[in-house]
Structure 1
């Protein structure tokens, strides 16, 4: 086939031709302008437009003196929102945050900072942990205000549970959060524990405490008693079934709902009163103080009431897929006419929501494996995760109010996806207030448009389908293994 006389064609391979798809060449200035426009849409200021109303502005003002007092690219507000956007980024790396800071500078015609992450990481260390704690408390208060009514007899239910997390294997982290004793040095990672209190209705994180592998959840919970208000309901699993804690919550005016553990159920013949089938009023006597095992002093122990009148409810599970067929609930909600046994059993069934809250944090937001290298920064990273989590929950509550749907039906992951895609258009300098209200209404509608499907009778086998990669586990420190490989290589060469 001849190619003579044909225009705008180029040979693809022997015997075939295609039309040239090459565009007209662009100047360097045009390329830079397009790159600048693209970067402008990727700055972190739009996240501030979305979530800034949930965080008091005075907390992000530059300090009067000392660290983060100068008004420059790495100002207090810029570093905070860059850290915030880093938490929400799928990549999660510091380079991503630096790129956004570069975009922020480029959009304003400022000098673009270096691509090195050193300055940004240094600026992050200057964020005060006390300021992050106060910011988290403010987001929790905002969620409390946004949750106008509560689903269980108009009472706030605080659900408590613990979880673990890991972090980079550094000497400082290992000292603060030692790895499991079953792992050899250099073969494991530092692991920490978190005990957190959540509002069952809004999903907001109210408070938390951090411990290591030796920290039990009960002492971490006792350090959070100030989180509870009078007339709250404490909801926990078997780990929190304790005479001391039930008595202490009762002193605070807080009712408890926990499954029975470490005691045998009371039979009908030994109960105080029979309220119904499997529903009994029972009496617990104060156990003896065990000096060697208890962290509570004898004086404090003897101040507890000598006995507690509680309610024991037997729950039979007929639905397949559950690991237990029956269990007992212990509660201080004694009025059977106001709180039926079926309602209390349903409330405990909702305790599983706290596992979903932790899944949102650890899986959806990638908090399971932290990135920072020092204990100080690990604590700040955890605080930033919780602040971002509460801000997302605030957006979900606002969307639920606008759409008049329960917040429980709104997807956490879907809200994050909506934030990432709607973020570029939220710029107060580019749109009017009227347009901003319209866009915000559309944003809330996009969050609430597809509710989460409710499948109460669903059950699945507790099995893993995906096969693991066939790599052997590390059984010695990496440096030792590399040294052994070098020795084997030297021996092979000599042979």
Structure 2
């Protein structure tokens, strides 16, 4: 699929193995629940998987052009989540489970950080680490590691969890613009005055004593210059309006910055797709190496599906995120063996064109905006039944 997306001739395609070639003869897909398949997974070198995931992402980023040409940059949405691992001694040592007053929990937990392109949905190879234990990592630390591999000049868009100085400093050192949401207290310190609607001023962000304590590598002259934007926002669900504070190093207008951050919710649906449709919410593999292989191969498959939607978008004019990921994934799974068995380039192009016609039918329907109602507040019940006299 990757070779066909890149436009390479049929002679470059790898020949599928006998089990895949026999798919069409017997009419039954080969099962992955076999000992031979498990041995092949374990024998696959981890370095090959990592390089393949990175190479696929780089090739598809270069091939898939932005849907709109209004912005001269590519924005990456970043967010973190947790994933449950199998209950094995090796995984529990590497990724300890949480604990409370009743003792340790059962499932080892992994904290993962993903970065998705705003327009195409393509995902960079994620960073992860233990969620609990002495070696637990924060999402900010994971972002500082992931930012090394972001495409040059990409804009980093993050919520209030990433609105800290260490993230802005790491991005500035690598010449990445940022759009970060700030908490109210941090925004007040930057503004030097109470927050109000309509603030748009130049600020110089310097690390606090707490940040210098936890980041001793910061130089004495560390600071980041940018803009502080404050705007009052009215939620769609009828809740009370609130002040949204953003720190950005972009030079665009206030409306452009606010609209860019307004698309941050897309990363939530991307995480849902990875965890629900690609089954990354609960792992069954029993070693750290297999966990890494599962994550990286799932991201490679995810990017291939996103690349198909990008190509369909170029033909129809519908945004890449206007297609159903689940339906496109099923179409790719159906046509994948047919493409692998194509005897020549002409037949492969015919099958691929048929697949793209099916993809064009996988557009998301237009859903009318449902009416919103204010949140219902229920009164607290009695803490304990009163004694009847």
TM-score, scaled relative to structure 2 = 0.80
Report 1:24-423 matches (<5 A): 50-53=1-4, 102=19, 104=21, 117-149=34-66, 151=68, 153-182=71-100, 188-213=106-131, 214-261=136-183, 263-266=185-188, 278-290=198-210, 293-294=213-214, 296-297=215-216, 300-305=218-223, 308-320=225-237, 325-333=242-250, 335=251, 339-423=252-336
Cα distance in 2 for partners of 1:264, 1:433 equals 59
Aligned to 1:265, what secondary structure does the other structure show?
A: helix
What residue number does 2:381 align with? none
- Residue 384 of structure 1, CA deviation: 1.2
**Distance change in 2, residues 1:260/1:184 (3 Å):** same
Cα distance in 2 for partners of 1:262, 1:56 equals 50
Alpha carbons 1:280, 1:311 under 8 Å: kept? yes
Aligned to 2:341, what secondary structure does the other structure show?
A: coil
Aligned to 2:100, what secondary structure does the other structure show?
A: coil
Cα distance in 2 for partners of 1:259, 1:116 equals 45
- Residue 459 of structure 1, CA deviation: 6.8
**Distance change in 2, residues 1:417/1:122 (3 Å):** closer
**Distance change in 2, residues 1:54/1:421 (3 Å):** closer
- Residue 227 of structure 1, CA deviation: 2.0
**Distance change in 2, residues 1:293/1:324 (3 Å):** farther
Alignment partner of 1:441 is 2:353? yes
**Distance change in 2, residues 1:318/1:283 (3 Å):** same
Report 1:462-481 matches (<5 A): none
Alpha carbons 1:426, 1:436 under 8 Å: kept? yes
Cα distance in 2 for partners of 1:55, 1:322 equals 48
**Distance change in 2, residues 1:127/1:55 (3 Å):** farther
Cα distance in 1 for partners of 2:191, 2:121 equals 41
**Distance change in 2, residues 1:410/1:114 (3 Å):** closer
Alpha carbons 2:86, 2:284 under 8 Å: kept? yes
- Residue 237 of structure 1, CA deviation: 0.8
RMSD of the alignment, in Å?
Answer: 3.7
**Distance change in 2, residues 1:453/1:182 (3 Å):** farther
Higher relative contact order (CA 8 A, sep 6+): 2
Deviations 1:130-189 (A, max 9, x none): 111111111111221223236461310011111111121111111111122139678621
What residue number does 2:383 align with? none
| Structure 1 gap segments, 5+ residues each | 1-49, 62-76, 83-100, 464-495
| Structure 2 gap segments, 5+ residues each | 376-389
Alpha carbons 1:234, 1:256 under 8 Å: kept? yes
Q: How many equivalent pairs are there?
A: 362
**Distance change in 2, residues 1:454/1:282 (3 Å):** farther
Larger Rg: 1
Cα distance in 2 for partners of 1:268, 1:220 equals 25
**Distance change in 2, residues 1:282/1:197 (3 Å):** same
TM-score, scaled relative to structure 1 = 0.64
